[in-house]
Chain A
Amino acid sequence: MYVKTYQRAKSFFGEFERKPGDHLTTHYCPGCGHGNLHKYIAEAIDDLGLQDRTIFVNPVGCSVFAYYYMDVGNIQVPHGRAPAAATAIKRAHPDSLVISYQGDGDLAAIGGNEILHAANRGENITVFFINNAIYGMTGGQMAPTTLLGQKTITSPFGRATEREGFPLRVSELLATLEGPTYIERVGLFDNKSRMKARKAVRKALRNQVEGRGFSLVEILSPCPTGWGLTPTESCEWMQEKMVKQFPLGVIKDESASREGWNRYRQVVPAEKLPEILDLTKESTEQFTPTDVPGCYRNPSIKIAGFGGQGLLFLGKLLAEAGMRHAYNVSWIPSYGPEMRGGTANCQVNISTEPIGSPLVSRPSVLIALNRPSLDKFEPEVASGGLIIYDSSLIDRAPERGDVEVIALPATKLADEAGSARAANMVALGAYLGRTNLLDQTGVFKILEKMTKSEDQMAINRRAFDAGARFAMF
């Protein structure tokens, strides 16, 4: 009785949807090595019994469509970034089997940085590095791995060291690092080399399952189309030329001594987080929401001025206070590299509704503390909105007729209260005095925690009160 012994792996889809009219074959050219590697990986996943726990990171290159073939979890990532994505996936799902599958253009050229650092961190992932010494998908351009003398469409005279430098031996390079566990280079050009490749694939995957750390298998692979050779000539070329530049064999193997290589799995009990993050001094006291007139509810606020005027602080205070009044809040700053003197703004949402985006592009409230800010943001304010501007610094009034305006001499009032730098507190007082958005006692309690000294707090109170008195109806 004959039984099926070598057959299509279960980790392949039953039908491939890539090509119209042909749901059985891959999109790879005749004789391409990608298919072989796909088969070895799929078979290994079958044998490990991990089809449902495998996440295949699809690169850019011919193998960008591997997700049409591999019936496992799939993600497609930007060019060269597979090791970074694989790192994140593995850390978020430590029990998954994460495969970064990359070509030489992807891994050795644009993704050189990513692979270097993933290897150096010793991430517990498996990387398959298909090296065919050329950019296949884009039509046969020179790659970092292109051999000396090899003609490609971008090295038409043959690669020469004077012009194009030397072929990059990535595996040897990575093997100098302490992080990687297992690095082997294999080939796909004769029976023996293919069997060794299959074995290396299995070992690299098993290493990950057993928590032994970073494994990379470099696979010298034929690209008959890119090389302009037949599939059989390609195998001969690999054997004669490619193996000389990229010798086969185990380059590094510390698999045996790397058990439990999950260094990043640090479990922190949730109740310890506040202490670790130094948050124990923060109060979580909640305040009762105030009665806010309809037109002032759920504001989208833009606060803008010079850096150093306390705009970001004012925004944070509003967001924090909003949160303590059981509102949904968001706060994002926008500023240049200068700590003082540059222009800055922050955007705050305080809402009874969920906040979809923290961006405030149509503010219902604009607090402008300098002239450029008023000039820039006045047109953005929603009709029926509120503009509070520092009339002691800004020499023009808003031109809009469809908004409510408070011409607030903020810096002058702050100066009178003890410090011109408390203009932000005057603006806060004016805003809350007019709108009754938040409970003043609650805001002061939060402000006390955020203020360094009693003297400063006294100034803040006086400045706030001056603003509130000025703006109250």
Chain B
Amino acid sequence: MNNEIKNREDRGRVEVSAEECKGCGLCIEACPPHVLELSERLNGHGYHPAAYLGSGCTGCGICFYTCPEPGALTVFTLQAT
């Protein structure tokens, strides 16, 4: 892989509020670059919450519109400074 592309900053970032996630798994199916997974750990309600793999997010927002919870997912996008 071209080193230049590999090191380029991701276009987006996703933040999961673990206590707001019900572990339905829909975002994991929906994510185009497949950068979400269900966490091994349990949250306070006994669900395995979604978790971001840490890289590869494109900031497309599809997971946000797939998630039924109002605030479980927040998607950030990279803006030119």
Contact = CB atoms under 8 A, between A and B. Distances in A.
Interface of A: 1-9, 12, 22, 24-26, 28-36, 38-40, 42, 69, 190-191, 194-195, 198, 224, 230-232, 235
B34 interface: no
Contacts of A35: 67-70
The 8 closest A-B pairs by CB, nearest first: A35-B68, A31-B24, A8-B71, A6-B64, A30-B22, A30-B24, A2-B76, A6-B75
A194 B19 contact: no
B37 interface: no
A217 to B, nearest CB: 15
Given A35-B68, A194-B66, A5 B23 contact: no
B68 A42 contact: no
A257 B17 CA distance: 45
A36 B65 contact: yes
Contacts of B56: none
Contacts of A22: 19, 45
Contacts of B13: 2
Given A3-B79, A195-B65, A12 B71 contact: yes
Contacts of B75: 4-7
Contacts of B79: 1-3
Contacts of A31: 22, 24-26, 68
A39 B26 contact: no
Interface in B25-81: 25-26, 29-30, 32, 45, 47, 59, 61-62, 64-79, 81
B71 A1 contact: no
Contacts of B22: 25, 29-31
Contact of B20 (A1, A25, A34, A69): A25
25 contacts: A1-B81, A2-B77, A2-B78, A2-B79, A4-B75, A5-B61, A5-B76, A6-B73, A6-B75, A8-B70, A12-B70, A22-B45, A26-B70, A29-B22, A31-B25, A31-B68, A33-B68, A35-B69, A39-B65, A39-B67, A191-B30, A191-B62, A195-B65, A198-B65, A232-B29
B76 A24 contact: no
Contacts of A29: 22
A231 B20 contact: no
Among B26, B45, B65, chain A packs the most CB atoms within 10 A around the CB of: B26
Contacts of B62: 191, 195
A3 B76 contact: yes
Contacts of A1: 78-79, 81
B6 to A, nearest CB: 19
A26 B65 contact: no
Contacts of B76: 2-5
A39 B74 contact: no
Contacts of B65: 6, 36, 39-40, 194-195, 198
Given A25-B20, A35-B69, A39-B67, 8 more contacts: A2-B12, A6-B61, A8-B74, A22-B19, A25-B19, A40-B65, A191-B66, A235-B26
A3 B23 contact: no
A129 to B, nearest CB: 18
Contacts of A28: 68
Contacts of B70: 8-9, 12, 26, 35, 38-39, 42, 69
B74 A6 contact: yes
Contacts of B26: 31, 231-232, 235
B42 to A, nearest CB: 14
Nearest to A36: B68
A14 to B, nearest CB: 9
B16 to A, nearest CB: 13
A13 to B, nearest CB: 9
